[in-house]
Chain A
């Protein structure tokens, strides 16, 4: 069942067109990785979905309700963390949760305690937020996003400031949630963190969707990563394209489809470069992304 449907979403700031006809859909159990370089419009898209910014053109439908026309019903079952977890610094973590809960109906203290445990803040929850570290604030932000038992979870760069343990926990949490028929939209810079558990990926560049595929499709584009062992990597520089890499003295990494790799090896051999070993590897999500986004670097 469709939880979030974005149709031809466009957004203009004055004359500047920030989003151009963005469309995608999230169903129950989906985890959509929302990827794009800085300034692509990820945060803007998320703000439009949440009604924080006015939509210039297009529709956003959440749980069957249009966000423009039926804001209250559409937003009721949405949990979100936009950009940074901005909470009231002069209150304690617990007071912040209680405050956020007070805007919903019927959230019990037990519910809060469960969420606190889920994000692993039970030891520090009664401290003032101004004494929290960045990662702890991020955990609090995630807790707030979960407070109303949402069926659509929107997280904008939630891994900011989390330690590896925290990232792992978040990943496990999201996987668990997605099994409970929740739809999740997650944007992040750290693509390698997402690839292991996302089932959909949406690549955004300059306000346009470049590619919207399932993870499997992306990984199965007919290009592959090859690691070659050669005698001297300094000599091959001129044969490499901009997405290929020299790994060290003997190893290079190239991304090519099957036909091209054969030609490439032939070329090396003809130019007196010895090839000792060729290893084929699947593309990581990040590499696939760079490839699709036209080799743009993610800063």
Chain B
């Protein structure tokens, strides 16, 4: 048996199609990593400048909306100028605190035209700019703390204010400036933004379904960002190797599928089409042994190829995005305990791939069955691919309509990712039930394949 599998592997690896797909995969891999790397730059702040004619074009300044747009554009121009002359540590302050000031100034300048107020705000603006140009981010933190403490005096039991104060104190003790490149800053900003909504939901009793969903989402975000602050892990970074690996099936699932159907769709039918089956079936081995060796080859090769793809991705991703992010753990929010669980990249990736594997094994066996019955590689590949597309449609339909017949459809059962992400199964299936359904499908498909292959006549080619 070992010899037979070895021979099958040799046949597969020596084929041109295998080499070609691998080369395409490597290129695709490179592209994906470059996109991940450039993602931040692509989404970078809008730096459009508006010329005066451009701003006033078609704008009727007596109209409230148009006026606002005009003021916004004016403000943006000024903010862009300021940003150019500053390093990144003040980014968030410029975008928010300063923006509001400049907007206010422009509003007075172009609408009320109150000289007194204008000089007052211009003075404040100049003062603020001084701190900004000195990169004195701590000034703004202290300013905020002072304001918050004043607020707290009036409403002493307000836990939201307390939390905001402690967030800003965290900035001071951990020297977190306002740069978007600083993940701690991003986590703090995220919490600050969500906090008000979060406390609103928390104090409310009867949440509607949508509100409950939103509240769950906020809870998850809060837990995640608090964990990031507490343990200082850069887990939300979307442009490192870690992020690519975290989404491995989403990024490379199509290529896994291509490998799977390419191998299992041709392993039997090609021998028939090329006539090599005549030599194979006149060897001193039972037909079922020959078929079993081919099946085992496929089943063995699918996980091996996924591992191979991972290694290539880690290598290419490492060179384009850097290897150091592999040390950062991947965080998972457990909705039932409301706690964050931390996984090393390797552990996360292993579990992710194991829970994704059943899907590809089943598609592989299906393609193998079709390849044996039709002895046509293209038919096997096309039908399996169509089945895959159709199963996506049915999975979505099953989410919308709760029909009993869907419960026995394999595609609803073959993905176990929910066990890793600690979310409930979207269809409320128990893992054991899913495994049972998978076993039944596999047994039926394999029986068909073996019975058919044993009876098959080798026709003329």
Contacts and interface: CB of A to CB of B under 8 A. Distances in A.
Nearest to B454: A54
B457 A52 contact: yes
B279 A86 contact: yes
Given A86-B275, A103-B3, A53 B458 contact: yes
A51 B457 CA distance: 9
Nearest to B14: A90
Interface string B279-290: 111111111000
B123 to A, nearest CB: 81
B285 A87 contact: no
Chain A interface mostly helix, strand, loop or mixed?
loop
A108 to B, nearest CB: 15
A103 B281 contact: no
A174 interface: no
B132 to A, nearest CB: 67
A71 interface: yes
Interface string A36-77: 000000010001001111100000000000000001110110
A42 B15 CA distance: 34
A126 interface: no
A76 B15 CA distance: 29
A226 B283 CA distance: 49
Nearest to A44: B460
B10 interface: yes
Contact of B281 (A43, A51, A90): A51
Given A99-B10, A103-B285, A86 B276 contact: yes
A230 B285 CA distance: 64
Contacts of A190: none
B268 to A, nearest CB: 15
B274 interface: yes
A52 B276 contact: no
- The bracket for how many chain A residues form the interface is 20 to 34
A84 B275 contact: yes
A50 B282 contact: yes
B7 interface: yes
Interface string A78-93: 1010111011111100
B455 interface: yes
B282 A86 contact: no
A54 B287 CA distance: 13
B285 to A, nearest CB: 7
Contacts of A276: none
B386 interface: no
A102 B7 contact: yes
A87 B279 contact: yes
A78 B278 CA distance: 13
A90 B282 CA distance: 21
B284 A104 contact: yes
Contacts of B153: none
B299 interface: no
A72 B455 CA distance: 16
B4 interface: yes
A52 B458 contact: yes
B19 to A, nearest CB: 10
A95 B460 CA distance: 25
A100 interface: yes
Interface in B250-287: 274-276, 278-287
Interface in A150-205: none
A82 B278 CA distance: 7
A211 B10 CA distance: 47
B16 interface: yes
B279 A144 contact: yes
Contacts of A80: 278, 282
A52 B281 contact: yes
B6 interface: yes
Contacts of B275: 83-84, 86
B461 interface: yes
Contacts of B455: 54
B11 interface: yes
A70 B78 CA distance: 91
A75 B284 contact: yes
A83 B4 contact: no
Contact of A54 (B274, B283, B286, B457): B457
Contacts of A82: 278, 282
16 contacts: A43-B460, A52-B457, A54-B455, A72-B285, A75-B282, A75-B283, A76-B284, A80-B282, A83-B275, A88-B14, A88-B274, A88-B276, A90-B14, A99-B11, A100-B279, A104-B284
In the A-B complex, the 7 residue pairs with the smallest Cβ-Cβ separation, listed nearest first, are A86-B275, A103-B283, A52-B458, A76-B284, A53-B457, A82-B278, A72-B284
Interface of B: 3-4, 6-7, 10-11, 14-16, 274-276, 278-287, 455, 457-458, 460-461
